[in-house]
Structure 1
Amino acid sequence: MAYPSGPPPAPPAQSLGSTNTVFITETRFDLSYIVTPPGIIKAVLVVLNLLCFICIEASAFRSNGRGVYFVFVSLVGLAFTGGLLLMYLYHIVEKYHNFKWFKFFGYLAMVSYGVDAFLKAKALKAGELAQGSRVHTGKQTHVTTPPALP
């Protein structure tokens, strides 16, 4: 953009002073976290996990293996995400600001992915399938089809 009256204005001068971070260490309920993007994501995840749990419990699949696993995953997700949401709503994260929250949860995620990678490598060496199972039949059937017509 051209400035008709001369060069562009200089940026504001930066102060060389220090900054202070203030932590309010008392717990208090504050709904303003819900309207932030991380708060919205956590609230949506809590609702989705709760809906998943209700849907699988109302279905006929709740007692088979996949249904039980689905219930387990939805309840664990509900507990962790709901717990984190409550910790942010009540400013418990701010109260215990010396605890390295991002490093702690990042470390747990890294360890979880590492264990998963180890188990996948072990399954690969054993010749297992990524998902599903092999079906072995005792008898092989050979089918001969006639050639296609011209």
Structure 2
Amino acid sequence: MLPPPLKVKMVDPGFPGQHTTTTTVQTSSTTVETSIRFDPFYIRQLPGMLKCAEVVVNLIGFICIEASGFHAESSRGTFFNTVAMTGFWFTGILLALYLFHIVEKLYKIPWVKIEFVFCALWTGLYLIASSLAIAYHVEAYIAAGFFGFCGMVLYGIDAFIKFQAIKNGQLAQGERVISKQTTTISRPAY
């Protein structure tokens, strides 16, 4: 024998006692000054300090390999010097562009994305180049490897900062003002 079917009574919750409508309007405006001018305060900010440190580390690593006397005999030294000198010139030119606000003048170029890709790539290349240099067991190569690992850390920090800037929609130089206007309307309970 089957048990009798269960009867379930559904309770209609009805319309909620309070109704809230929220409207959010987001506007943004970009403010850039397109005149070329020298700004020594850039090197006192974190991105400027990072670029200066990267230029110095690239140059010191290059000099260590060149001073070893083995740079012509080893493909490791050639690879390290290629990474160091490309980083030196690219970062040095970017530093000059930022110091003279040329990046701000050319604000339509996606500078932050370009720098993120470069810094992320150089983090990996310095890891490889420094590991190869240290494994050569020559004092100058070991010193260059140390500075290469310092460069790897600097470029890694710079890549992280650029990633955060991309995520937040920041400009490389200049200001982007994003304002939000939120309106909330609450209806009383009936």
Please say whether Structure 1 and Structure 2 have the same fold, judged by a TM-score greater than 0.5.
yes
Q: Note the C-alpha offset of 1:61.
A: 2.1
Residue 71 of structure 2 is aligned to residue 62 of structure 1 = yes
2-side partners of 1:37 and 1:71: how far apart? 26
Paired amino acid for 1:78: F
Give the percent of matched residue pairs that are identical in Structure 1 and Structure 2.
Answer: 41
Unaligned runs of 5+ in 1: 1-15, 117-130, 133-150
Match of 1:87 in 2: 97
Does the C-alpha gap of structure 1 residues 108 and 21 become closer, same or farther in structure 2, counting only changes over 3 Å? same
1-side partners of 2:40 and 2:119: how far apart? 27
Match of 1:73 in 2: 83
Does the C-alpha gap of structure 1 residues 108 and 65 become closer, same or farther in structure 2, counting only changes over 3 Å? closer
Segments of 4+ in structure 1 off by > 6 A? none
TM-score, normalised on structure 1? 0.56
2-side partners of 1:45 and 1:105: how far apart? 13
Partner SS state of residue 37, structure 2? coil
Greater share of strand residues, 1 or 2? 2
How far does the alpha carbon of each residue in 1:34-87 deviate from its partner, in whole angstroms, 9 at most, with x for none?
000111011001011111111111112211111111111110110111111111
1-side partners of 2:71 and 2:64: how far apart? 9
Give the alignment of 1:25-64 within 5 angstroms: 25-63=34-72, 64=74
Q: Note the C-alpha offset of 1:21.
A: 3.8
Unaligned runs of 5+ in 2: 1-24, 126-131, 136-190
Q: How many residues of Structure 1 are paired with residues of Structure 2 in the alignment?
A: 99
2-side partners of 1:109 and 1:40: how far apart? 15
Partner SS state of residue 81, structure 2? helix
- Give the RMSD, CA atoms, in angstroms: 2.9
